[in-house]
Amino acid sequence: MRIAVISDVHGNLPALKVFFDHIDKLKIDRTLCLGDLVGYNPWPNECVGMVREGGIPTIMGNHDRVASGIEEPDHFNLAAKRAILWTREALSGDKRDWLSKLPERLLVNNQIVLVHGSPSNPNEYIFSADSAIYNMEFMTEQFGVSLCFFGHTHVVAAYSLKSKEVSFLEGDTINIEDEVQYLINPGSIGQPRDGDPRAAFLIFDEEEKRVEFHRFPYDIDRVYKAIIDTGQDEFLGKRLYLGR
């Protein structure tokens, strides 16, 4: 089975639609979502609807938590705060309710754990080797698995732990080895922050034990215009062109 893993859609409908257009071409059998369907961009209802109606297993991100009213955006920057409060008002009741009931972690086929931030903390940003080591050991102890897909940073990344030595893996393809632990981030569909403005996701080929990273362009001009038209901060649109 070929499993697509997406994350951090953030209400970006043009990008999400292009992803769905790729499913048949890439022979994707199943899709999993690492959260933050909403926030920043102005199509929260449409994005939640596409994922929910597609029956895609999804976990709760920090923006989903705030948009559904579970938490307040006390630690968001001003632009993000304005956008998520707008999103909370724009969401229909059934979609807000659906977001509020998403799990914080999800174990898939007893071999993969899905998280938004990290296995130990849904709000943690994994950017360092020390954080990666701690969380790979944590996921093995708590969930009994050696592979975790995480989001939240909006940056494509892959860490491995073998014989207590951590490595940052590079390249478009990663071969999954036995007796090795992995933390892998597909990047963001709706707001990449790794310098590449193209939407990002990954495919895990279960049979081949291989992870493939994918990118694709989408209509950023349309998103920028919609952000301005809904009265959001122009910065949210400009950053899309820069992948920041």
> pLDDT confidence of 110, banded at 50, 70, 90?
confident
Q: How far apart are CA 128 and CA 114, in angstroms?
A: 19
Helices and strands (H and E) in the chain: how many: 8, 11
Return the percentage of the chain with pLDDT > 90, whole number: 96
What is the structure's pLDDT at 3?
97
Q: What is the DSSP code string of 171-217?
A: SSEEEPPTT-EEEEE---SS---SS--SEEEEEEETTTTEEEEEEE-
> pLDDT confidence of 236, banded at 50, 70, 90?
very high
Q: Is the pTM above the cut of 0.75?
A: yes
- Average pLDDT estimate for 135-155: 95
Residue 19 has pLDDT above 90, yes or no: yes
The pLDDT tens digits for 79-98 are: 999 999 999 999 999 999 99
Q: Which residues lie below 8 Å from residue 48, measured CB to CB, with a gap of 6+?
A: 37, 38, 91, 95, 98, 99
The pLDDT tens digits for 55-64 are: 999 999 999 9
Residue 148 has pLDDT above 90, yes or no: yes
- Average pLDDT estimate for 110-129: 95
Residue 164 has pLDDT above 90, yes or no: no
User: In 3D, which of 68, 62, 54 has the Cα closest to residue 100?
Assistant: 68
The pLDDT tens digits for 172-221 are: 999 999 999 999 999 999 999 999 999 999 999 999 999 999 999 999 99
- Average pLDDT estimate for 102-123: 95
56 close to 32: Cβ distance less than 8 angstroms: yes
The tokens describing 149, both together, are 């897909």
Residue 24 has pLDDT above 90, yes or no: no
What is the structure's pLDDT at 109?
87
What is the structure's pLDDT at 123?
93
- Average pLDDT estimate for 36-54: 97
